[in-house]
Structure 1
């Protein structure tokens, strides 16, 4: 689906889980803005944002399982579109590295959010 629709569907999916509104990182804009100074292409993405959000219950389970999983908090999902692929967009997230109950809970939440967003909210 088009990036704008998927981005809105992701935000709706996060809200449907009862989570607070996400913090948005305008990643694509930052890359385009810094391209002249850093020497990379300005058009790596047509659109790219990272939505970060927190579930206290999931966070507590993650860090109870392994203290270093604090680095996963807040959880985040990227929504992006690539040049040359009009009408197509993608979702991506970091999977927890552990295999315990906390990681499984986080993975299940992320999968629900991605699935709901991909289905249009």
Structure 2
């Protein structure tokens, strides 16, 4: 493979695309390996069997805002997987819809950082919402609470529980 610095300009874009695909494949493999290593009890889910994805997603965003947290960053997870399916060899349509909302509570982040500076890696927190691809109605909220035995870890877990509980309440499903 030619060196990107000495390759003719006409081949540099192709090499860059190849490198980007290789990096994408490596990141997907790392993510799948990390997910496979996580125990099922590490992931908390709440099923909303008769509720539309858009309604659950809106309730989740509102519940985050009600905690005084800035608007979350949204990762369009299903779109990303569909977009990379051909290049990475996984099937399209793993989800009908899927997004990951990431956010940070200054209070929880400060508590975690006071406990140990490396706890910076626990922020931002994230909660996923997805609709299954099998055509069944409904959506699922899923999150992985930090496994940290401390006041900061409990504050983060409590925040995640409150957000999910408030999402359900906003949908009339306490």
> Which band: TM-score by shorter chain?
over 0.9
Q: Residue 77 of structure 1 aligns with which residue?
A: 127
CA shift, 1:14, in A, is 0.7
Aligned length: 121
Higher RCO (CA 8 Å, separation ≥ 6 residues):
1
Matched residue of 1:9: which SS?
helix
Q: Structure 1: any 5+ residue segments left out of the alignment?
A: none
1:1-121 → structure 2 map (5 Å cutoff): 1-120=51-170
Q: Structure 2: any 5+ residue segments left out of the alignment?
A: 1-50
Aligned partners of 2:67 and 2:135: how far apart in 1?
Answer: 30
Aligned partners of 1:65 and 1:80: how far apart in 2?
Answer: 33
Aligned partners of 2:111 and 2:156: how far apart in 1?
Answer: 8
CA contact (8 A) 1:59 1:73 kept: yes
User: TM-score, length-normalised on structure 1?
Assistant: 0.93
CA contact (8 A) 2:78 2:99 kept: yes
User: TM-score, length-normalised on structure 2?
Assistant: 0.66
Residues 70-98 of structure 1, C-alpha deviation per residue, up to 9 Å, x if partnerless? 22211111111111152211111121111
Structure 1 runs of 4+ aligned residues shifted over 3 Å read none
